[in-house]
Structure formats: C-alpha cells, structure tokens
Homo-oligomer: A and B are copies of this chain.
Amino acid sequence: MTNPKEVKVGVLGATGTVGQRFIALLAHHPFFVIHALGASSRSAGKPYSKAVNWKQTQPIPSAVREMIVQECVPEQFSECAIVFSGLDADVAGDIEQAFRLAELAVFSNAKNFRRDAHVPLIVPLVNTSHFSMIPQQQRLHSPALKKGFIVTNANCSTTGVVIPLAALERAFGPIESCIITTMQAISGAGYPGVPSLDIVDNIVPYISGEEEKIEWETLKILGGVTQSDDGLKAFDMHTKQPLRISASCNRVPVIEGHTECVSVRFARRPPPSPQQVREALQAYTSEAYTIGCPSAPRHTVFVHEEPDRPQPRLDRDYQAGAGVCVGRVRQCRVLDIKFVVLANNVAIGAATSSIINAEYAVLKGIVA
C-alpha cells in the first residue's frame, strides 16, 4: 500500500507528557502533518516553545516551536482530519465528545471512553478488527455522524500484556487464567507524577485504578465483536470463553518501560510447551504491519533467548518502542507457562498506539 498524501492532524493536550510524545513522533511522520496544537487556556495563545515544559531527550521539533497553541475547541481544529488526544482524564471526556460531535476523528489515549459500549478499545497490534464498531457509534447520534468518532487505545500496562496474550490465543486457543505482576516506570504517571522521595531506593506496590484497568481492558480487547439478530454489534468481553485475570501493579524507579511477569493457563490440554510458545510469539504478526502502517513494528513480539532479558534500559527503544519484548518463557508450576514482557509505556503503551490506529484508519479508508 502506498502512503497517502499529507494528512493534517491536531494534538490535544499538546503540552503534557503524552502530547509531547505525540509531537516528537509526528514531527517526522511520512504522511501525518501537525496542523494544530491544543492545550489549556493557560497555554493558549503562546508559541508552543513558550507554553511547554519540554521534557523529551530530543529538542522541540522546529515545525512546532513557533506554532501558536490553541484552546481545545473544535473550531480551531476544523482543518484537521484527525486529532490525537493526550488530554488528562478530568477534561478528556467533554472535549473529546465535543470534537466527535464536530465530525472530527479522535484517537485518544485517555481512559474516559475506554469502557464505552460503542467506542473501540484498540491495541493496534491486536484488535484492529474492532474498528467495525465505528459505523454503529456514528449512528447513535441523530443525525448520524459522518466523520466524527472516537477510538481509544489501552492503558500502558494493559498493552504490554495483551499483545503476547493475543499471540498465544491465536496460536493455541483460549487462555483460561492469567496472573500478572507489573513493575511500571515512573513516566507512566506523567509529569510531575511520582515524587522522587517516593521512588528513589524504593518501590510503591500500588497504582490507583491500574489493576482494574488491566483486568477489564484485556477482556474487551481480546474478546470479539458479536452481532445480535437485529444487527446490533457488541463487545463480547471474552465471555464465551471466560478469562480470569489477576493483576498486581507496582511502581519502580525506572524512567521508561513497563516490565511484567505473566503466568497463563490455557484451556487446551495438554498446554503448549515453552518452545511452542516462543515460536508462536515470534511468529505473531499484526494486520497493522501487514497492510503497511509505517509505525507498526516488523517484530510485534521480539523473543529474547538470553536468560536475563528483556531489561527496560537496554530493550525499551528496540524498534522505537513500537513492539514488545518477551523473555524467560518457561513452565509455571501452578499455571502452565510463565514469561516476562517489556513494553515501552510511552511508545506502544501510549502515543505510538494512537498513531498506528490512525494510520490504519487512514489506510483502510475509515478516516475520510
């Protein structure tokens, strides 16, 4: 598939942590062009370089340095085909809703609509098939929306675990249960986020709301979309083959990259061997990559053979953080198989997922 021509995009929450990452990624995108930046009224009216407390390791892209930040109202984004939302949850709901109603395609990293019955929750390396819900989402409004819709991507810690689980279900059928312990990077909490006094030489064995997100979002993502006799579609939440998930979430003194220890039990008896699991993970490909999304990684899952990998500092930037790394695939004495996943929480766990979702929507003609 050849790349489309320029597609104008906006970024909401442009001065925040996720917004900065959107901008860093979009600055060199093959077809997305940043056209408008939105932030709070405190920032609106200022050149981006004055409004932002830039915390990325590369300089502010020259294309946006002098761009004037707008308020997050649809009128300022009317020329955009797509808006990416890195808004905080306390404002994302109303703003994203307004943008949808103004016929804008919203790709959101916020949590507000993830549990909405008509908003797909899409990890682009897993369930792009859920885009099929968009027409129904648009028909809910009266008159039906023509171009406006909202698509969300998952919480960063959900993303890390759901990719290998999807690979395993594709290869070996349903997973029955899964125990996950996360060790999550401080960048997952935004800025200022975690106070240094809480995390230097320390671990915090709790992240508010995080365990619930993993346990719930995974079901929506891995579940199918069912259609009832009247033609209405619904997310089935993996209910046909119940999947029990138990998560324990920890904050650790790591800048970037969530590490997760995962044990799974398959429905299928006997379960696959560690070697079969390794091969299935390595072989897993995403439709997003297949159809040519430029930000989709070639290796959806990179499987490490060394006993002590993946490690966040060494492996989080592999493929620009767009895939996940798995290692230590071995038998579990209680469930069937256990392994370690590393996912870059600010790349595939956040902005990169939104961007691949948007690339997919463009390439598939879902975005006008």
* Interface residue ranges, A against B (CB under 8 Å): 55-59, 177-179, 181, 183, 186-187, 191-206, 208, 215, 244-246, 248, 250, 252-255, 259, 261, 263, 307-315, 317-318, 327-328, 332-335, 338, 340
Contact = CB atoms under 8 A, between A and B. Distances in A.
A125 B39 CA distance: 42
A12 to B, nearest CB: 21
Given A203-B252, A206-B307, 17 more contacts: A57-B315, A177-B334, A179-B263, A183-B203, A187-B197, A192-B197, A192-B198, A194-B197, A195-B196, A197-B255, A199-B200, A202-B311, A202-B312, A205-B340, A245-B334, A252-B252, A253-B254
A313 B183 contact: no
The 10 A-B pairs of least Cβ separation, nearest first, read A192-B195, A181-B181, A202-B313, A206-B308, A248-B261, A246-B333, A196-B196, A201-B201, A246-B334, A177-B334
B263 A201 contact: no
B201 A191 contact: no
Nearest to A187: B197
A318 B307 CA distance: 33
A223 to B, nearest CB: 16
Nearest to A250: B183
Contact of A250 (B192, B206, B261): B261
Contact of A255 (B187, B259, B313, B328): B313
A311 B201 CA distance: 10
B205 A308 contact: yes
Contacts of A192: 192, 195, 197-198
A318 B59 contact: yes
Given A57-B317, A333-B244, A195 B191 contact: yes
A137 to B, nearest CB: 30
A199 B253 CA distance: 10
Contacts of A307: 206, 208
